[in-house]
A and B are shown apart, each in its own frame.
Chain A
């Protein structure tokens, strides 16, 4: 436990709660254990009835206990304030976008600014609460999308989604994905899933009241880079979306792509992907996490939920010859157990 010097604030104001008058006496006495019995009789005539119950005793409590109590009170208050702030932000973001005809692929600069500013204190669980609230109001879970969320007519808790041709394992057949119905119903379209998840993975994992003051993570939320739809051909748009979010390890082709696109792309408000990549690198350094591919990798997994076959063919780990007989157990190698089935080689 870390004990800091007690901040110089009177305890009463820190321990404020939703029903102040009720809580004040009890919290005051927690902090300042009532020593009033040892007090000299008060001359105040008003106190004839119950002089002992006077909550504001003059006897000073153990300063060490007081310090701990204050420290905890401050933490609790910080948490409460943050939760209240996040709730008001959720209520604000439920009403976005500002125009009912807004296009989630090219949102207005004002809405983007609102979203980025509002998300600063969010954790991913707060973001999920936002999605839920939007869905309850019938809207797509992505905050910049004005459309309604999908509603599946059929009963049943799962849906099967088929990928494009030759997306199955080994490049044959179609890839099959089983998705819980309520997951599908959070959005208006697959594009919005990607947009929303692209934001979600950038949110901080620790609550805002535990972050350092110079934490940069939340301030740098970027939106999914999107090409302007080409003559309304939906399929090309979708394909491009795929490419944008695809490249986890394939970072060079991705930033090239981003470079090509930035000229024509919508966004004055969004950063080019190269920028994002840089900020992730900084971030990883700052956190002592040397493997900067981690976050990109997460983007890939979270967004597409699908292994792309050509570069994702990872060979299964091959057991070396020393493992032919099961290897060692905590350093001890069992002897003379050459089982015929344990042969790993083909």
Chain B
């Protein structure tokens, strides 16, 4: 009996530890995108995470794992389109983000996504991030990306076990503001379609929540040239 109990609790501990890593990556991701999160939230120690988000048996209770965050002023500035005759007073195209961990261990489809979409819509969140333990069905993916005027994204917990952007071989990606993009294209006398491209499905693009039409600056270190930057158009 004791053995059973201890192996069970070891199991729980392992699952909590994995989830803790995913949780921290989620906060790093929110921070890197420009949302208001505190350093304490990003750095939450394991023990604290365990007390906060486990059930009576020590297993994760994903129902409690919901987060929302507002964009910082810097992020709003970056997401504000340039002034134009048709849009003389442009508003930032970002807003509060909401993150939810789906408690269902398998078989996630349109049923769960519909509930998630409904909540995001009802609470008027600008962006929703739905995190599941297993892949979700193709129809669910389509449904998630189909709410008009809102952005909903999906990640699997294991996608976020490790923060890929912290890997030394992944160059730093920085989103250009709408204004920076215009200036870049003018300086090089380019059309955006002449830039090299990055797909929205690229792991780093997904991490940063990049949208079609944006331009991202990629900064690499090189032994010969020091640091050099290149630009990609998100398609």
Residues of B within 8 A of A23 (CB): 212-213
Which of B82, B83, B186, B211 is within 8 Å of A22, CB to CB?
Answer: B211
Per the bound structure, the CA–CA distance linking A101 and B172 in Å amounts to 59
- Least CB separation from A130: chain B residue: B139
Min CB distance, A155 to chain B, in Å?
A: 14
- Least CB separation from B94: chain A residue: A22
Does B138 sit within 8 A of A, measured CB to CB? Answer: yes
Interface residues of B in 79-96 (CB under 8 A from A): 81-88, 93
Residues of B within 8 A of A55 (CB): 84, 86
Does A133 lie within 8 Å of B149, measured CB to CB? no
- Least CB separation from A17: chain B residue: B212
Q: Which residues of A contact B (CB under 8 A)?
A: 17-23, 25-27, 29-30, 33-34, 44, 46-47, 49-50, 52-56, 83-84, 87, 90-91, 94, 129-130, 132-133, 135-137
Does A91 lie within 8 Å of B110, measured CB to CB? yes
Min CB distance, B70 to chain A, in Å?
A: 19
- Least CB separation from A90: chain B residue: B139
Does A136 lie within 8 Å of B85, measured CB to CB? no
- Least CB separation from A91: chain B residue: B110
Residues of A within 8 A of B87 (CB): 21
Residues of B within 8 A of A91 (CB): 110, 114, 139, 143
Which of A53, A133, A135 is within 8 Å of B82, CB to CB?
Answer: A53
Residues of A within 8 A of B138 (CB): 129, 132
Does B110 lie within 8 Å of A94, measured CB to CB? yes
Interface residues of B in 99-125 (CB under 8 A from A): 107-111, 114
Knowing A21-B93, A22-B213, A50-B82, the reply to whether A132 touches B192 (Cβ < 8 A) is no
Residues of A within 8 A of B191 (CB): 29-30, 33-34
Does A29 lie within 8 Å of B211, measured CB to CB? no
Does B137 sit within 8 A of A, measured CB to CB? Answer: yes
Min CB distance, A225 to chain B, in Å?
A: 30
Does A87 lie within 8 Å of B86, measured CB to CB? no
Min CB distance, B218 to chain A, in Å?
A: 19
Does A54 lie within 8 Å of B109, measured CB to CB? no
> When A and B form their complex, what is the total count of cross-chain residue pairs whose Cβ atoms lie within 8 Å?
99
Which of B81, B108, B149 is within 8 Å of A25, CB to CB?
Answer: B81
Q: Which of A20, A22, A129 gathers the greatest number of chain B CB atoms within 10 Å?
A: A22
Per the bound structure, the CA–CA distance linking A174 and B166 in Å amounts to 59
Closest 10 CB pairs of A and B: A26-B213, A136-B109, A136-B107, A53-B82, A53-B182, A129-B139, A22-B93, A133-B109, A87-B142, A132-B137
Knowing A44-B85, A133-B109, the reply to whether A87 touches B211 (Cβ < 8 A) is no
Residues of A within 8 A of B140 (CB): 133
Which of A50, A132, A133 is within 8 Å of B83, CB to CB?
Answer: A50
Residues of A within 8 A of B84 (CB): 25, 47, 53-56
Does B88 lie within 8 Å of A46, measured CB to CB? yes
- Least CB separation from A128: chain B residue: B138
Q: A23-B212, A56-B86, A132-B138 are in contact. List 6 more A-B contacts (CB 8 A).
A: A18-B145, A22-B81, A27-B213, A55-B84, A83-B142, A91-B143
Residues of B within 8 A of A50 (CB): 82-83, 179, 182
Residues of B within 8 A of A137 (CB): 109, 111
Contact with A along B127-169 (1 / 0, CB 8 A): 0000000000111101101111111000000000000000000
Residues of A within 8 A of B212 (CB): 17, 23, 26
- Least CB separation from A137: chain B residue: B111
Does B93 lie within 8 Å of A84, measured CB to CB? no
Which of A29, A83, A90, A129 is within 8 Å of B192, CB to CB?
Answer: A29
